[in-house]
Structure 1
Amino acid sequence: MTQSSLDLMSALTEIAGRRPLLVVTDFDGTLSAIVADPAAAALVDGAEPILLRLAECPGVRVAVMSGRGYADLADRVGSHRDLFLIGSHGAEYGGPADASLLGRRDGLVAELRALLLPYDGSFLEVKPVSASVHTRRMPNRGAAAALQDSTIAGPGAVEGRTVKVGKEVVELAVVRADKGVALRRLADEVGAAAIVYLGDDVTDEDAFAVLGPDDVGIKVGDGPTAASYRVADSAAVLAVLTHLAD
């Protein structure tokens, strides 16, 4: 059970004084509103300045970690020296993926394009080391469920591939990575005394799962979670970041 907003503010006040402090946030649904077309996603108003202000605080390290490709994430967040970016659920740690993975990804994409042909409203999002099958535009919800099942049981069952199921999306990757592993790596590198992690999707649960008892995990929106706290939306995320920076 997540705790109250009053409890969250108290926890943030306490953790804000610890150093080194690591603050990591997801992008889609956290710093950006969820939109039907992933290409249309953008930082909510006010997100960039508060991220940079927080990153300028002595002893604070700020990172944005996303399932998006590294280059795509950098285009939307901006390439700022004080913001560390992690793409592809951790596979692109601080920079683009190895080009040797592109051939394996292209084979996966060809399989998925063929699979999607009969499904009206479905679309494929191609990333550096993965591809995501989106069903949120599909008018037939039964067909959407069938497509997700076929994606997992078909291309997703090939050895060496990983499957991540999110909100009306199934992502298949050609390399193993998850946000929890990437978060622990970054925390170890900066010697973090405390971590604040914010995210809205199923894939963020990997990050929540590696937090310690004195860290703060914040789930954005509805849904089951291992996070101790919950906020409603991106506006509330900005309030959290502002509280930490003040």
Structure 2
Amino acid sequence: MQTTDATPLWLARETVADRLAAAPGVVCCLDFDGTLAPIVDDPDAAAMPPGVRERLVALRDCESVRGAVVSGRELADLRERVGVGGIAYAGNHGIERRIDGGRSVAPDARLSADAVSRVCDRLGDRLAHVPGVAIEDKGLTATVHVRNVPDERVPEVGRVVGETVEEVMTTGDAALEIRDGKAIREIRPDVEWDKGRAVAQLAEEAPDGWLPLYVGDDVTDEDAFEALREHDGGLGVLVGERETAANYRIERQRDVVELLELVVDAQCE
């Protein structure tokens, strides 16, 4: 991964605002957990603050902006939590998408659904004794949450996940992979689809010259930041601070509303 010292957005606010205003349009792609919604201990409790929702609706109503939410969450869950029509959604890290009312699934991903389900069933038994662990079967992918697991037990969870995935793959034809995120282990079909490919496709489908923007906080968002580095002039904004392929960073999730306001001011006024 090509990393940089991402520039704090407040230091480059005028530069970014000028680029947004100079573009004929913006493809505004946003992660959900940790970006549109604060990170919470219970993933089922995640919700967008009213100010974020208002600006997302404003972007949806702007003719020169195409909005999209790109998340590791299952598509149906993501759409229900965001609840804004007229924008694109990419769930399960882009494996399933809904654009203009039509749903599509990445080729070959469906073939792994049964294997993912078997992994979840076995992990439910094998990790039942570990306090705080949560296993989320998302149909095409699965997430093992370790945010509430004692630190000294997290390596045990990772070992059991790895052994179980390997075991399931040796007894079937499906190929799976494990990816790490913030306090999670993601189990996915081993197909060439991730947030980066989803964002790249959304950018390619936009009119010529439109500026792609991606905002995210998780390690899994680095795929999208990398994709924008390959796209001439794309902007990546990290929420938080770490080594990243993003161009800019903002410190906290609550700063996302100000970033969205920059896009609104540049394109919708």
TM-score by length of 1: 0.91
Residue range with higher mean Cα deviation, 59-68 or 16-25 = 16-25
What's 2:37 paired with? 32
- Pick one of 248, 252, 255 that aligns with 1:229: 248
Encode CA deviations 1:194-242: one digit per residue, 9 max, x unaligned: 1111000000000000113522110001222110100012221110111
What's 1:178 paired with? 194
* Within-5 A mapping of 1:78-97: 78-81=83-86, 83-94=87-98, 95=103, 97=105
Question: How many angstroms does 1:192 deviate by?
Answer: 5.3
- Contact 1:125–1:131 (CA<8 Å) still a contact in 2? yes
What's 1:190 paired with? 206
Q: 1:128/1:13 Cα in 2 relative to 1: closer, same or farther (>3 Å)?
A: farther
The CA RMSD over aligned residues, in Å, is: 2.0
What's 1:238 paired with? 257
Residues 1:151 and 2:166 aligned together: no
Residues 1:201 and 2:189 aligned together: no
* Whole-angstrom CA distance in 2 between matches of 1:44 and 1:192: 33
Question: How many angstroms does 1:15 deviate by?
Answer: 2.4
Alignment length (residue pairs): 244
TM-score by length of 2: 0.84
Residue range with higher mean Cα deviation, 172-181 or 38-47 = 172-181
- Contact 1:216–1:228 (CA<8 Å) still a contact in 2? yes
* Whole-angstrom CA distance in 2 between matches of 1:154 and 1:104: 11
Structure 1 unmatched runs, 5+: none
Question: How many angstroms does 1:156 deviate by?
Answer: 5.4
Residues 1:117 and 2:128 aligned together: yes
Q: 1:238/1:44 Cα in 2 relative to 1: closer, same or farther (>3 Å)?
A: same
* Whole-angstrom CA distance in 2 between matches of 1:27 and 1:192: 27
Identity of aligned residues (%): 32
Residues 1:166 and 2:175 aligned together: no
What's 2:46 paired with? 41
* Whole-angstrom CA distance in 1 between matches of 2:85 and 2:175: 34
* Whole-angstrom CA distance in 2 between matches of 1:40 and 1:46: 18
